[in-house]
Each structure stands twice: as structure tokens, then as C-alpha cells.
């Protein structure tokens, strides 16, 4: 390896992101509950749009995403000019970091915040700052205390991954109001649709100049494999992001499929209700087995064990039963396992297997 050819500072500090496992060696048809995917898949209308898009593969896609932005704006009653679409919300998060943070700048997030915030900060040469939470809940005062003249971005996911906890809109508003002038608040709403009556922070974006919200098609819309996300922000921010976005960052297949999906709000309502029902059931069943979790507002629960050893042993046991959940030691939660709320049969299998595991100890 040449000493002379080096990446930008920060890049070699990035630990590779590991996605959720999808297979267990020697186990056929394992159930994947490790990536917070929708067990019911994508709405039919989205699948049909995907099939139709195959007929125009020779054509370049729309560079301005007008159709998808219009659909998102119509459904959420937004200004389409202030919507931006990307290859997953990850791309929007990255564009934000690339545009607003650089060497000597600080990027703030919470101690168990989504790993991409740290990765994006390091990739931009900025300094990641992880702020303590209060019992796995975002602590607005701790974030405000961590801010200074170098803070350029503050990321919070609400609900948060992997804790599943969320804070009230009034707390988010207090955070936005208390930030230093040069700092932008990014509200990551990857799981916002799972919360009945919650706008993901849209009204705060409308009310302020320093707040951006991101959303995804990967979770409740069941399109994790498609890679589409979007953001909504003040005009000045969206203008900046559009300047650095690749013009053809989304294919026609992605655009048309996501547009059909967002127009199917009945699907969202149905999946939210089913998720809430099974989440409550699963959390209750595990609690009865001595495995507590915080009240989750998302499509997963963070199951707490007595320590790392028990969590790892339970994970190994579940894998033998064909159930793949997520270890979260990389989030400094080695005593926990994050379990996606699957369909009823999967949830029952998880509870049964955890019961068997506990019986062996
Ligand atoms: C909190 C949070 N934000 C963003 C994402 C990125 O989602 P995507 O890039 O698939 O839109 C995820 C995915 O797991 C997430 O958990």
C-alpha cells in the first residue's frame, strides 16, 4: 500500500456499517427480523408500477423528480418545491453532512443514535459528538449543552433507532429554538409513519428556518430494497442539497414505484395498526419472560437482557430456531437485542423461542 495515496482525514476512522443478517448457515427459510423491514412487503400498486417501469429502461429518469415530489406534497400537504428525493433517506442525510459540515465543524447526535450520523460526519472530515441520553431517551438539555460555535448539524431520529423511544413534539421544538444560529436540526423520521397522528416534525419545518426532516420508503412502505427516501426543509437548504445531488440519483423504477406507494395511504394505516398490535403483544410476552423493553414507537423493540453474555446466547439460540434478530453492541448496547416486529406468526415464534431459552438458564 502506498503511503503517499491517502484518503481524506477521518475516513479511516469509519467502522464499516454492517447491515442486518439475512441468513443462518444450515437453517432453511430463516425469518429475518434484523433490519426493521415491513413483514407485509410493498403495496400492490407499488409492485404494479414497478412492473410498468420496466418498459422504459432505455430512457434516462426524470432529474427533478417532479412526479414523486408532487405525490409526496399532495399526500402530506407540503410545498413540492421544498421536497428532495434520494436513494434512501441515507442519501439525504449524507447530502446534509456533505453540504454543511467539514473539518473543524461538529456534528451532534445522541449516544445510541443511528450509525450513519457518525459515518457521515467522519466522511466529511467533521468531528462527531455523541451526547448522553437519559435512560435510552433523547435528552434535549444534554444536546443543547453539547452545542457550541462549531456545531453545524444536530441529528435526532424520532422515534429513534435502535432504542425505539421518542420525545414529544414540544421537546423537539424546544431543541430547535435553543440551537446556536449556525446549526441545522435534522429530524430523521424513518419510523414516523408508525406513530399514529404524528407528522414527523413537518409542522416544525414549516415554522422554522433551521429544521429539516427526512423520511423513507424503506420501512412502512415495504420498499427497503428499492432505496428511496425524501427530505423536507426550508427553501435555502433544499436549494443547497439540489446543487450537490447527482441529477439522476433515482431511476425511473424507483421514482414510479415510490410514487404509487405514497398514494396508497390505506396500506400505511393498515400496516401501522398491525404493527402496533403485534408490538404490544411481543413486548408484553417478552416482559413476562423477564426480558423488558422500553415502550417502542417504531416497528421494533429493544429487548434488554441481564448482560452481554445472555444477549449473545439468546441471539445464538434464536438463530438455531431460524430467527434472525439484531445485535446492537455497535450502538453500545451489548446487553440488548433489537427485534423487528414481524407478522403474528413470527412474533409468536420469537416469544416461544425466548421462553425456551430462558427455560434453559
Ligand atoms: C433512524 C434511521 N434513519 C435512516 C435510515 C435509513 O433508511 P433508508 O436509507 O433505507 O431510507 C434508517 C434505516 O434503518 C434508520 O433506522
Quote the pLDDT of residue 18. 80
What does the pLDDT read at residue 219?
98
Which residues, judged by CB distance below 6 Å to any ligand atom, belong to the binding site of ligand 1? Answer: 36, 88-90, 114, 157, 161, 188, 190, 216, 218, 224, 229
Closest atom of ligand 1 to CA, residue 90:
9
First to last CA, the chain: 49
Backbone angles phi, psi at 297, to 5 degrees: -105, 5
Q: Are 98 and 237 in contact (CB under 8 A)?
A: no
Whole-number Cα distances in Å, 271 to 71, 102, 250, 279, 347: 20, 40, 26, 12, 15
User: What is the CA(82)–ligand 1 centre distance, in A?
Assistant: 21
Question: Percent of the chain beyond pLDDT 70?
Answer: 99
- Write the residue with the smallest CA distance to atom 3 of ligand 1: 190
Is the pLDDT reported for residue 198 higher than 80? Answer: yes
Name the nearest CA neighbour of 146 among 161, 160, 134, 130.
130
For residue 1, is pLDDT > 70?
A: no
Q: Residue 124: how many CB atoms within 10 A of its CB?
A: 25
User: Nearest-5° angle of CA 191, CA 274, CA 162?
Assistant: 30
pLDDT at 73: 98
Q: How many CB atoms lie within 10 A of CB 331?
A: 19
CA of 356 to the centre of ligand 1 (A): 32
- pLDDT value of residue 3: 83
Cell numbers found for residue 140: 434535549
Parallel, antiparallel or unpaired: strands 184-188 and 211-216:
parallel
Question: What distance in angstroms lies between residue 300's CA and the mean position of ligand 1's atoms?
Answer: 13
Confidence bin at 20 (pLDDT 50/70/90): confident
pLDDT tens digits, one per residue of 220-240? 999 999 999 999 999 999 999
pLDDT digits over 60-84, tens only? 999 999 999 999 999 999 999 999 9
**Residue of 162, 192, 218, 261 to test ligand 1 pocket, by largest number of atoms within 8 Å of CB:** 218
Contact partners, residue 89, CB within 8 Å, separation at least 6: 188, 190, 214, 215, 216, 218, 229, 230, 231
Mean pLDDT over each residue of the chain, to the nearest integer: 96
pTM of the model: 0.96
Per-residue pLDDT tens over the stretch 163-180: 999 999 999 999 999 999
Q: What residues pair up with 302 in beta bridges, in sequence order?
A: 338
What DSSP designation does 185 have?
A: E
Closest CA to ligand 1's atom 2: 190
Q: What is the dihedral of CA 51, 52, 55, 58, to 10 degrees?
A: -90
Instruction: Give the per-residue pLDDT at 208.
Output: 97
Q: Look at residue 35 and give its three-state secondary structure.
A: coil
Report the distance separating Cα 62 and Cα 251, nearest Å: 8
Q: Choose one of 190, 201, 300 to mutate for the ligand 1 pocket test, by most ligand atoms within 8 angstroms of C-beta.
A: 190
Distance CA 32, CA 340 (A): 8
Cα dist from 10 to 46, 98, 102, 220, whole Å: 40, 13, 10, 34
| Strands of the sheet with 300-304, listed across from one edge | 300-304, 336-340, 326-327
CA 105 to ligand 1 centroid distance, Å: 24
The pLDDT assigned to 16 comes to 86
Q: What is the helix (H) or strand (E) element at residue 127, kind and residue range?
A: strand 127-131
- Ligand 1, closest atom to CA 113? 1
User: Does 339 score more than 80 pLDDT?
Assistant: yes
- For residues 148 and 139, the answer to whether their CB atoms sit within 8 Å is no
- Local confidence band at 277 (pLDDT 50, 70, 90 cut-offs): very high
pLDDT given for residue 27 in this prediction: 86
- Mention every residue, 6+ apart, whose C-beta is less than 8 A from residue 174: 140
- Mean pLDDT score, 213-223: 98
Average pLDDT over residues 200-207: 97
Q: What letter would DSSP give residue 80?
A: G
Integer Cα distance of 192 and 37 in angstroms: 14
pLDDT band at 15 (very low <50, low <70, confident <90, very high): confident
Task: State phi, psi for 211 to the nearest 5 degrees.
Answer: -130, 135
Amino acid at each position: 500500500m502506498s503511503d503517499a495515496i491517502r484518503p481524506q482525514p477521518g475516513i479511516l476512522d469509519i467502522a464499516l456499517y454492517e447491515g442486518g443478517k439475512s441468513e443462518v448457515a444450515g437453517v432453511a427459510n430463516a425469518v429475518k427480523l434484523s433490519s426493521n423491514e415491513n413483514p407485509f412487503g410493498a403495496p400492490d400498486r407499488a409492485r404494479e408500477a414497478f412492473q410498468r417501469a420496466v418498459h422504459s429502461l432505455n430512457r434516462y429518469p426524470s432529474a427533478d423528480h417532479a412526479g414523486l415530489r408532487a405525490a409526496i406534497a399532495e399526500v402530506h400537504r407540503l410545498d413540492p418545491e421544498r421536497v428532495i428525493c434520494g436513494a434512501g433517506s441515507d442519501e439525504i442525510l449524507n447530502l446534509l453532512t456533505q453540504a454543511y459540515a467539514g473539518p473543524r465543524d461538529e456534528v451532534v447526535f445522541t449516544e445510541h443514535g443511528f450509525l450513519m450520523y457518525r459515518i457521515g460526519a467522519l466522511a466529511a472530515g467533521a468531528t462527531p459528538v455523541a451526547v448522553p441520553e437519559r435512560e435510552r431517551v433523547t435528552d434535549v438539555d444534554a444536546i443543547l449543552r453539547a452545542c457550541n460555535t462549531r456545531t453545524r448539524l444536530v441529528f435526532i431520529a424520532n422515534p429513534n433507532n435502535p432504542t425505539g423511544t421518542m420525545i414529544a413534539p414540544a421537546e423537539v421544538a424546544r431543541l430547535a429554538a435553543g440551537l446556536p444560529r449556525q446549526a441545522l436540526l435534522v429530524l430523521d423520521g424513518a419510523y414516523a409513519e408508525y406513530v399514529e397522528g404524528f407528522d414527523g416534525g413537518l409542522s416544525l419545518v414549516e415554522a422554522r428556518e433551521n429544521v429539516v426532516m427526512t423520511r423513507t420508503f424503506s420501512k412502512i412502505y415495504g420498499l427497503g430494497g428499492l432505496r428511496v427516501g425524501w427530505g423536507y426543509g426550508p427553501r435555502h437548504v433544499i436549494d443547497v442539497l439540489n446543487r450537490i445531488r447527482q441529477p439522476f440519483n433515482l431511476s425511473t423504477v424507483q421514482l414510479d414505484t415510490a410514487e404509487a406507494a405514497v398514494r396508497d395511504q390505506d396500506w400505511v394505516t393498515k400496516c401501522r395498526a398491525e404493527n402496533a398490535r403485534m408490538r404490544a403483544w411481543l413486548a408484553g410476552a417478552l416482559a413476562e419472560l423477564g426480558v423488558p423493553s422500553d415502550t417502542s414507537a417504531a416497528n421494533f423493540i429493544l429487548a434488554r437482557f441481564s448482560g452481554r453474555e445472555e444477549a449473545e446466547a439468546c441471539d445464538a439460540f434464536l438463530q438455531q430456531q431460524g430467527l434472525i434478530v439484531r445485535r446492537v453492541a455497535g450502538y453500545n448496547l451489548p446487553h440488548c437485542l433489537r427485534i423487528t416486529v414481524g407478522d403474528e406468526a413470527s412474533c409468536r415464534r420469537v416469544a416461544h423461542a425466548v421462553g425456551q431459552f430462558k427455560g434453559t438458564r
